[in-house]
Amino acid sequence: MKISQKLEYACRALAQLAKTYDGKTLTRLDDLAQREVVSSNFLVQILNDVRRAGLIDSRRGANGGYMLSRPPANITLRQIVDAVEPSQLQNTAQSGQGESGTAIHRAWETVSGKLAADLDAITLESVASPPSDPMFYI
C-alpha cells in the first residue's frame, strides 16, 4: 500500500500530540517537527488541513502551538486520512465496462470498505500508547 509522505507526517504529528494530550497543553510547531524529524514548513501546511477538519486546535503567538481538539481515543486514522488525503479511500475502478467490469468494481468496493473499517478501528490512543513489554514464560 502506498502512503503519501503528507499522510505519514500527519499521522506522526497527531500521534505525537496524542502522547502529550491533557486537553490544555499546547505543543509548539518546532517541537513537533524536531521530534518527528519533519520540515516545519511542510508540517505547518499539513497541520492546517488537519485543523480545518476539526481534529486539532491551534493558537498563534509566543505561547502558541497545537493540541488535539478531543481525546486521542476519539480520533481515528480514517479521520486523518479524510482530512489530509480524502481521495485515498475512493474507488477509481471503472464500473460496468467489459464483461467483468461490474464484478471487478464490486470487488474493489469491498476492499475499499474493509480498509475504511480497519482505519475506523485504529485510534490515536492506540497508536500513541507505548508498546507493551513482551511476556516471557520460562
Min mean pLDDT across 14-18, 63-67, 86-90, 132-136 is at 132-136
Residue 27 is assigned to a structural domain of this protein? yes
Quick one: CA torsion of 69, 71, 74, 75, rounded to 10 degrees?
60
Q: Where are the beta strands (DSSP E) in the chain?
A: 56-59, 65-68
Distance CA 71, CA 104 (A): 39
The pLDDT, as a whole number, for residue 109 is: 86
The pLDDT, as a whole number, for residue 8 is: 95
Residue 134 is assigned to a structural domain of this protein? no
The pLDDT, as a whole number, for residue 132 is: 62
The pLDDT, as a whole number, for residue 72 is: 96
The pLDDT, as a whole number, for residue 70 is: 96
Non-local CB neighbours of 14 within 8 Å, separated by 6+ positions: 50, 55, 56, 68, 75, 80, 124
Mean pLDDT of 93-116: 82
The pLDDT, as a whole number, for residue 73 is: 96
pLDDT tens track for 51-88: 999 999 999 988 889 999 999 999 999 999 999 998 87
**How many structural domains are present in the chain?**
1
Coil, strand or helix: which one is 93? coil
Residue 35 is assigned to a structural domain of this protein? yes
Residue 132 is assigned to a structural domain of this protein? no
Residue 66 is assigned to a structural domain of this protein? yes
Range of the domain at 26: 5-126
**Of 90 and 6, more confident:** 6
Report the CATH number that the domain containing residue 68 is assigned in CATH.
Answer: 1.10.10.10
Residue 110 is assigned to a structural domain of this protein? yes
> What pTM, to 2 d.p., does this model score?
0.85
Residue 137 is assigned to a structural domain of this protein? no
The pLDDT, as a whole number, for residue 135 is: 58
Residue 138 is assigned to a structural domain of this protein? no
pLDDT tens track for 17-55: 999 999 899 999 999 999 999 999 999 999 999 999 999
